[in-house]
Each structure stands twice: as structure tokens, then as C-alpha cells.
Amino acid sequence: MMYQIVYTNEAEQDLVEMLIYGMKEWGEIQAESFYLDITRKIDTLTTHPNRVREKYLTNGRKVRDFIVVGTPYRAPFLIDQDKKQVIILRILRTQRNFEY
């Protein structure tokens, strides 16, 4: 069963900021390559998103926290079983705390 990846506005903004930062630091080609690497790895959640364990936030809400392997980023997400969607909440550096 395939799920659709849906990015919240906050997650889209995180990607834009990551791309802008990368262009300033590494140049356009490397920044785009890094951006594509992250989004391709997130796209693997279209099959079996339940493979990522749930965790509780301090507010009691449950999310899944996908570590983007080979990068310093993670993508907390929710699964909407009814709509068959994986909702990417944010894309954050791994050391940042997340509450949603």
C-alpha cells in the first residue's frame, strides 16, 4: 500500500531555508544535490511508514521521528491512515527539540 507524502507549510519552509543556506555555503549544484538526497530519503516513507517507531512529545502527542540517514536532519511525521498520507511536520537538524 502506497502513501502520499504531504509537507506542512513549516516543513516546506524548512526545505527552502536549507536550500538557501546550502547555496550560500556550498554552491547551487551541491545544495540541490543535498536537497534531492533528503527528499528522496523522505519519499521512502511512501511504503511502510510504520517502520518508524512512535514517540511521545512532552505535550502527550505521538509522532514518528524519521532520521534522514547520512544527514544531520530528521523529519517528524504523522500518518493519516484514512487518507493514506504521511504528513511531514518539520525537517530539523537532529539536535533540535521538536514540539508540535
DSSP string, the chain: -B-EEEE-HHHHHHHHHHHHHHHHHH-HHHHHHHHHHHHHHHHGGGB-GGGSPEEE-TTS-EEEEEEETTTTEEEEEEEETTTTEEEE---EETTS----
Question: What integer pLDDT is reported at residue 55 of this predicted model?
Answer: 83
Question: What integer pLDDT is reported at residue 37 of this predicted model?
Answer: 96
What is the pTM assigned to this prediction? 0.89
pLDDT per residue as tens digits for the range 40-78 = 999 999 999 999 988 877 677 789 999 999 999 999 999
Question: What integer pLDDT is reported at residue 96 of this predicted model?
Answer: 62
**Percent share of the chain, pLDDT over 90:** 81
